[in-house]
Amino acid sequence: MYQFQDLEVRQATDDEPPVIRGYAAVYNKETDLGDFREVVRPGAFALAVERDDVRALFNHDPNYVLGRNLSNTLGFNDDDNGLGVTIVPPNTQWARDLITSMDRGDVNQMSFAFSVGQDGQTWDTRGDKPLRELREVTLYDVSVVTYPAYPETSAAARSEARALMTGTDGIDGQASTDQSDNDTAEGNRGQARRLPRAKNKINLAIRK
Using alpha carbons only, what angle is made at residue 118 by residues 31 and 159, rounded to the nearest 5 degrees? Answer: 60
Q: What is the mean pLDDT of the chain?
A: 76
**For 96-143, how does the pLDDT look when each residue is reduced to its tens digit (9 = 90+)?**
999 999 988 898 888 888 999 889 999 999 889 999 999 999 999 999
- By residue range, what is the domain housing residue 64? 7-205
Q: How many domains does the chain have?
A: 1
**For 190-202, how does the pLDDT look when each residue is reduced to its tens digit (9 = 90+)?**
444 444 443 454 4
Is residue 114 one of the residues assigned to a domain? yes
User: Which pLDDT belongs to residue 12?
Assistant: 55
146 — pLDDT class (breaks 50, 70, 90) = confident
Is residue 22 one of the residues assigned to a domain? yes
For residues 115 and 137, is the Cβ–Cβ distance under 8 A?
yes
15 — pLDDT class (breaks 50, 70, 90) = low
Is residue 1 one of the residues assigned to a domain? no
In three-state form (DSSP H/G/I as H, E/B as E, the rest C), the secondary structure along 122-187 is EEECCCCCCEEEECCCEEEEEEEECCCCCCECCHHHHHHHHHHHHCCCCCCCCCEECECCCCCCHH
pLDDT reading at 17 higher than 60:
yes
User: Which pLDDT belongs to residue 147?
Assistant: 75
User: Which pLDDT belongs to residue 14?
Assistant: 59
Is residue 172 one of the residues assigned to a domain? yes
Q: What percent of the chain has pLDDT over 90?
A: 44
Is residue 2 one of the residues assigned to a domain? no
This prediction has a pTM of 0.72
For residues 67 and 74, is the Cβ–Cβ distance under 8 A?
yes
Measured between alpha carbons, how far is residue 101 from residues 8, 44, 68, 108, 159 in Å?
12, 31, 21, 9, 40
User: Which pLDDT belongs to residue 192?
Assistant: 43
For residues 136 and 44, is the Cβ–Cβ distance under 8 A?
yes
Is residue 107 one of the residues assigned to a domain? yes
Is residue 69 one of the residues assigned to a domain? yes
Across the range 179-194, mean pLDDT stands at 40
Is residue 17 one of the residues assigned to a domain? yes
The set of residues, in sequence order, having a beta carbon less than 8 Å from that of 130 and lying 6+ positions away, is: 35, 36, 37, 123, 124, 161, 164, 165
